[in-house]
Structure 1
Amino acid sequence: MADPVARLLPWSSPDGKPCFLVSDGAGYVSRVADAVEEEQLASAVDLIDEARCVLAVRGWTSGELQLLTVELTEALVEVHRVAESRGMRLLFHACRDDQSSQREASPAT
């Protein structure tokens, strides 16, 4: 079993606070979080394609640009949260691996 690590979840509490899960990453909530993150990333890719199409036409209205800006901002917030969550977990594992390597390299006393 892997060591538990705090994971920033891809959703917030009802009052807007970040939600964290401390687990080994193999449980039900971890799998739900993985699925939500994958959907958020896929939606961001779709939105990028849509934005490129809208901007290429150059016949957009200010309302279309405003809607696109709102949607791109929401997607960027979600993608940033995914990156932050994954970065925190990578840092935890890197620190743990470094500590493990240092223990193995230390001479026995």
Structure 2
Amino acid sequence: MTTSNELRLLPWTGPDGKPCLLSTDDNGGPMSRLADNIESAQLGMATALLDQALDILAQAETDPDDLRLLTKDLTGALRDTLRVATSRGHRLESRSTDPSSC
């Protein structure tokens, strides 16, 4: 049975904005693989958005509406990236306290 500190924070939220958690003993199962793929896509989108932001900020003049949209997009990417980091950090912590992981 999975304990509460072994629950995986998934890279999406429920309809009410609350975190979604996965309890599984199979880290290679279909839900775990789906979460891994979505995390990878989110990090890739954040990387592309950072490149776009650097290009926009390097321009001499930038339209305020473009900056507003950029800020909105960066905020979403940062939220997703922090969720991925939190999830991966929790999984690293649970492995380091698991005696079988030595």
TM superposition shift of 1:100 = 7.1
Deviation, 1:58, is 2.4
Aligned to 2:13: 12
Partner of 1:85: 87
Q: Given that residues 95 and 101 in structure 2 are in contact (C-alpha distance below 8 angstroms), is that contact kept between their aligned partners in structure 1?
A: no
Name the structure 1 match of 2:23. 22
Instruction: Give how far 1:42 is off.
Output: 0.1
What's the counterpart of residue 96 of structure 1? 98
**So what's the TM-score if we normalise by structure 2?**
0.89
Distance in 2, Cα, partners of 1:50 & 1:94: 37
Bigger Rg, structure 1 or 2: 1
CA RMSD of aligned residues (A): 1.7
One-letter identity of the residue aligned with 2:57? L
Q: Which residue of 1 aligns with 2:38?
A: 36
Runs of 4+ in 1 over 4 A off after TM superposition: none
| Identity across matched positions, percent | 45
Distance (whole Å) between structure 1 residues aligned to residue 8 and residue 83 of structure 2: 11
* 1:70-100 deviations in Å (ceiling 9; x for gaps): 0000000000000000000000001114x87
Name the SS of the counterpart of 2:16 in structure 1.
Answer: coil
Q: How many aligned residue pairs are there? A: 98
